[in-house]
Amino acid sequence: MNENPYNPPAAQLSNEVVAKGALESFLLSFLRHWNGRAKLLTAFWGHFILGNFLFTLVFVVSSRGIQALSSEPNTAASIFQVTLAILSFIYYICTVRFIWACARNSNYSGFFYIVRGLIIAFLIFIVSIFAITGYDVLSNS
């Protein structure tokens, strides 16, 4: 009998084991994408498009919800919004890294240049937004 000790029978699985397996699965997926060993399809559509859309949706809904619940700005609400914005920015940087590293992992080699060109265009766009915003803030002071 040749049993794999890493795969326990289904009867022995508990909520802790399932949760631990889900966390390990997430971390392994994260590392595969970070090291460029995952498919470009999952890195682009799964993380970059869908993941950033979900982060933006959560940020907008929570911001509107906080504004609707309180008439005055609250310190806890501000900290929550800043924390969510920082997490969103970190996730964005990770997804850019995922796409850059996984660019070669597609059937069509042209996607390598297309995706890297898109990433460079997005980064130029983000830097220009920060530059324009910074200029507006400094010029109005």
- The answer to whether residue 94 is domain-embedded is yes
Give the DSSP H or E segment for 67.
helix 52-69
Q: Which domain holds residue 107?
A: 37-140
d(CA 82, CA 118): 27
Positions in the chain whose pLDDT score sits under 70: 1-20, 71, 73, 141
d(CA 110, CA 104): 9
- The answer to whether residue 127 is domain-embedded is yes
Question: How many independent structural domains does the chain possess?
Answer: 1
Query: pLDDT tens across 85-119, in order?
Result: 888 889 889 999 999 999 998 888 899 999 999 98
- The answer to whether residue 71 is domain-embedded is yes
- Phi, psi for 35 (deg, rounded to 5): -85, 0
* Number of alpha carbons in the 13 Å side-chain half-sphere of residue 42: 10
Q: Identify whether the C-beta of residue 51 lies closer than 8 Å to the C-beta of residue 95.
A: yes
- The answer to whether residue 64 is domain-embedded is yes
The pLDDT assigned to 18 comes to 54
- The answer to whether residue 29 is domain-embedded is no
